[in-house]
Amino acid sequence: MTSSLLPPTGGAPLQAGPVHCVLDARAQLGEGPLWSPRRQALWWVDILSQRLFSWRPADGEALCWQFDEEVSAVAERRDGTGLMLALRRGMARFDPDAPGSQPVYLHRPEGEPASNRFNDGRCDHHGRFWAGSMDFDARQPTGHLYCYDEAGPCERLLLGLRVTNGPAWSLDGRRMYVNDTVGRHVLACEVDPASGPRVPLRPWLTFPAGDGHPDGMTVDADGRLWIAHWGGGCITAHDPDTGQELARIAVPASQVTHCTFGGENLRTLYITTARVGLDDVALRGEPLAGGLFAVPMNVAGLPAHAFGAFA
């Protein structure tokens, strides 16, 4: 099944090919997809099973690293020395190619809270690692958004969300989007290249009741924002200025968690999903829940930003 809608500037229709499950991973909470040009593989995680994965589309090679705590976001390091991870307590460094390697914490911005864990995260245009925290049970507004700079302090930007997802940035890096998932809001703020984000973030787009909750998101090469619908079973594309929905891709799993572009010419949209909280009846209706999905696209994505200062 394909979908087709005009992009905001007209021209060729925005098209998505068939959605297919490339790995029936049965992840409890699949998240954090990140395309690695060097490995020609996709990094992603199962947060609740405390596992980091690498999947290579050329031959289907699937690798897995088991940790002692939740891992929720991945970024490659600019100097080639492994990965940056968001673990339960904060930001860590990890070398997946070193036998017996374990993550090493670099910063724990919240200390040792009993109820919070880190969630989604990404690097920005300047090589800074952004990650948000959340109440483990998604009930209390104890989540914050942090920015970790290898050359400076870890700054706290956003306070008081139950579940923080994102962030993502406009093509020029001058606007940042963050998802208040439980509140169903996509928030936005302008970013000054010299001084950083201008807070507070404002509601930019709100999901209607019954359409799920905004989860992970990515930006394509034309600036459109692609957002996963937790509980909505789809990915939607939005105009970066107006928020207008431009395309919708149905996914055969209700709990869609994140998406990113990868593969040859960055023209495959990879989608992670979850099965946590689904009972036996629900799982019979969506047996591929927790799988990793791929969709061929006629639009390209953007290379992921790496962690660390530019040389």
Average pLDDT over residues 141-158: 86
pTM score of the predicted model:
0.94
Q: Band of the pLDDT at 3, cuts 50, 70, 90?
A: low
257 vs 213: CA distance, rounded Å: 10
Q: Per-domain residue ranges for the chain?
A: 3-296
pLDDT confidence bin for 310, thresholds 50/70/90: low
Rounded to whole angstroms, the Cα distance separating 27 from 276 reads: 8
Instruction: Confirm if 57 and 42 have CB atoms less than 8 A apart.
Output: yes
pLDDT tens-digit series, residues 204-258: 999 999 999 999 999 999 999 999 999 999 999 999 999 999 999 999 999 999 9
What integer best gives the mean pLDDT of the chain? 91
Residue 9 has pLDDT above 80, yes or no: no
| Cα(226)–Cα(223) distance, integer angstroms | 9
Q: Over pLDDT 90: what percentage of the chain?
A: 78
Comparing C-alpha atoms, which of 126, 36, 130, 41 is closest to residue 80?
Answer: 36
Question: Given this model, what pLDDT does residue 196 score?
Answer: 65
Superfamily in which the 3-296 domain is placed by CATH: TolB, C-terminal domain (2.120.10.30)
Q: Provide the annotated active-site residues.
A: 215
Enumerate the β-bridge partners of residue 292. Answer: 23, 272
Looking at residue 160, its pLDDT comes to 85
Per the model's pLDDT, the better-predicted residue between 197 and 267 turns out to be 267
**pLDDT tens sequence across 102-120:** 999 999 998 776 689 999 9
CA 99/CA 164 separation, integer angstroms: 33
Cβ proximity of 268 and 19 under 8 Å: no
Please report how many Cα atoms fall inside a 13 Å half-sphere around the Cα of residue 26, on the Cβ side.
3
User: Model confidence over 23-69: pLDDT tens digits?
Assistant: 999 999 999 999 999 999 999 999 999 999 999 999 999 999 999 99
The 10 Å CB-count burial string (b at 16+, else e) for 212-243 is bbbbbbbbbebbbbbbbbbebbbbbbbbbeee
Q: CB within 8 A of 7, min separation 6: which ones?
A: 13, 14, 222, 224, 246, 299
Q: What is the token pair recorded at 301?
A: 């994505």
Q: How far apart are CA 171 and CA 173, in angstroms?
A: 6
